[in-house]
């Protein structure tokens, strides 16, 4: 597949909300695997939780929000990540889209 075909397959994968996209996009030679953003963010958190929490704080401040409320809002897009981080931090999130 080349060019536009890549985009069509990738778009279909994103729209279908697949957790892991095995798209045969020519990534195998480089041992690259597409994964769901929440899984990637949880992996980053497991590697460097202090860095992730600091970045969440930075993003929250940039939006004039408390970090817990920003994580709650982020949970609408990546609920698994928000749930994982909230539990790790001992935070209680409202159940508006996070499943908590």
Q: How far apart are the first and last CA of the chain?
A: 41
Q: Is 34 helix (H, G, I), strand (E, B) or coil?
A: strand
Is 99 a domain residue? no
User: How many structural domains compose the chain?
Assistant: 2
Domain enclosing residue 47, as ranges: 37-89
- Predicted pLDDT of residue 8: 58
Residue 18 burial (CB count, 10 A): 14
CA distance 4 to 62: 36
- Are 26 and 42 in a shared domain? no
Q: Which of these, 67, 70, 64, 72, lies nearest to 94 by C-alpha position?
A: 72
At 20, give phi and psi (nearest 5°). Answer: -125, 130
Mean pLDDT on 74-93: 92
- Are 60 and 78 in a shared domain? yes
Does this model's pTM top 0.75? My answer is no
- Are 66 and 78 in a shared domain? yes
- Predicted pLDDT of residue 58: 95
């Amino acid at each position: 597949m080349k060019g536009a075909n890549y985009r069509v397959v990738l778009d279909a994968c994103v729209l279908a909300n697949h957790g892991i996209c095995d798209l045969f996009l020519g990534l195998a030679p480089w041992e690259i695997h597409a994964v769901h953003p929440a899984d990637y963010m949880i992996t980053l958190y497991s590697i460097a939780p202090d860095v992730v929490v600091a970045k969440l704080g930075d993003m929250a401040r940039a939006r004039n929000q408390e970090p817990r409320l920003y994580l709650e809002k982020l949970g609408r897009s990546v609920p698994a990540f928000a749930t994982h981080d909230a539990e790790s931090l001992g935070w209680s999130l409202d159940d508006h889209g996070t499943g908590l």
